[in-house]
Structure 1
Amino acid sequence: MNITLITVGKIKEKYLKDAITEYSKRLSRYCKLEILELQDEKTPDNASEKEELQIKSKEGEAILKCVKDNMYVVALAIDGKMLSSEELAAFIKEAGVRGNSNIAFVIGGSLGLSKEVLNRADYKLSFSKMTFPHQLMRVILLEQVYRGFRINAGEPYHK
C-alpha cells in the first residue's frame, strides 16, 4: 500500500517534526509513505473573500499537480464524514481490496481546500467539527493511519 500525504505549509515546530518522523518510521512497517509539503500562500491580514478564494485556488493548483490519476484522494474537510479509528482501518483495508493501493490524503492550508480539490476528492474525511492547525492535523492523521494499520494487522493498540 502506498500512502501519500499532500500538505500545504511547512512544519516549523520541532516537537511536531519529531512526531511526524516517529509516525513515519512506525508506518514504514506497513506501507510506503511519502509526504509532499507544498508552499503555502501568504494570507494578508483582513484579506477579502475574493483574496481568500484566490489563495485557496493557487494552493489547490499546486495540490492537484501532485495528484496522480491512479490515486484515491481523501480530502480532509470539516464537512466530510467522521469515522472511528476502527472504521478508518476498515476504510484503508477496503481501499486496498478494491484495487486502490495508492491513497493520497490531502491537508489544505489555513484557509482550507479549494473547490477544485474537493471536487477531485474521492472521499471527504473529517476528524471533528472543530478546527485544528493544519500542522497538528498532519500528526493526528499519521497517528490514525498508523493505528488503522495496527488494527488491520490484529496488533494491539491503545483504546
Structure 2
Amino acid sequence: MKFHVICIGKLKEAYLREGVAEFVKRVRPYGGVTITELNESKIGDKPGDVDRKQVVIEEGQRLLKAVPKSAYTVLLDVYGKTMSSEDLASMVSKLEVDGISDMAFIIGGVFGVSDELRRSVKFKLSFSPMTFTHQMVRLLLVEQIYRSAKINRNEPYHW
C-alpha cells in the first residue's frame, strides 16, 4: 500500500518535523508515505466567521484536488469514527485484498474542514474526542501508518 498524507500548512516545530521524518523513513519498506503540504490560505489578522468559512471551503477544494485519483480517502476529523491500531491495520489489509493500492489521509487546516470535503471522502477517522493541533495529528498519523504495517506483517513493534 502506498500512503499519502495531504495536509494544509508546513510543520513549524523541529521536534514534529523530526518525528514525522523518522516514521516516514520507517514506512519506506512497507510501501512508503508521501506527504503533500499545501499552503495555508491567506487571511487577515482578525478574521470573522465569513472569512474563516471561506478559508475552509477554499482549502477543502485544494485538498481534494491533491488526492491521487485512485486513492481510498480518509479524512482526519473530530467527528469521525475512533478505532484501535489493530482496526486501522485491518482496514488497510482489507483495502489491499480488495485491490486498493493507494490510501490518502487528509488533514485540514486550523479552522477545520468543509462539509463538501466531509461528504467527498470514503471514511472519516478521529484519533480522539480530544482536540489536537493539525500539526501534531500528522505525527500521530504517520506513526499509526507504520504501526499498521508492522501489525499486518506480524512483526514486533517494540523491541
TM-score class, shorter-chain normalisation, is over 0.9
SS in 2 for 1:145: helix
Per the TM alignment, residue 49 of structure 1 is displaced from its structure 2 partner at its CA by: 2.0
Per the TM alignment, residue 43 of structure 1 is displaced from its structure 2 partner at its CA by: 4.3
1:37-89 CA distances to partner (integer Å, 9 max, x unpaired)?
00012444543222111000111121111123211100000010000011011
Structure 1 equivalent of residue 126 of structure 2: 126
SS in 2 for 1:73: strand
State the AA in 2 paired with 1:79.
Y
Task: Verify: 1:98 aligned to 2:98, yes or no.
Answer: yes
Q: 2 CA distance for matches of 1:68 and 1:152?
A: 24
Q: 1 CA distance for matches of 2:119 and 2:75?
A: 10
- What's the TM-score once normalised by structure 2's chain length? 0.94
State the AA in 1 paired with 2:150.
R
Q: Tell me the percent identity.
A: 42
Runs of 4+ in 1 over 4 A off after TM superposition: none
Structure 2 equivalent of residue 79 of structure 1: 79
SS in 2 for 1:106: strand
Structure 2 equivalent of residue 12 of structure 1: 12
Per the TM alignment, residue 12 of structure 1 is displaced from its structure 2 partner at its CA by: 1.3
SS in 1 for 2:30: coil
- What's the TM-score once normalised by structure 1's chain length? 0.94
Structure 1 equivalent of residue 31 of structure 2: 31
Quick check: 2:24–2:32 contact (8 Å CA) kept in 1?
no
Structure 1 equivalent of residue 89 of structure 2: 89
Structure 2 equivalent of residue 137 of structure 1: 137
SS in 1 for 2:18: helix
CA RMSD of aligned residues (A): 1.2
1:93-132 CA distances to partner (integer Å, 9 max, x unpaired)?
1111112211000000011111221111000000011111
Per the TM alignment, residue 32 of structure 1 is displaced from its structure 2 partner at its CA by: 2.6
- Deviation larger for 127-136 or 63-72: 63-72
Q: 2 CA distance for matches of 1:134 and 1:43?
A: 18
Task: Verify: 1:65 aligned to 2:65, yes or no.
Answer: yes
Quick check: 2:75–2:106 contact (8 Å CA) kept in 1?
yes
| Unaligned ranges ≥5, structure 2 | none
SS in 2 for 1:140: helix
Q: 2 CA distance for matches of 1:143 and 1:112?
A: 22
State the AA in 2 paired with 1:10.
K
SS in 1 for 2:106: strand
Q: 2 CA distance for matches of 1:117 and 1:100?
A: 21
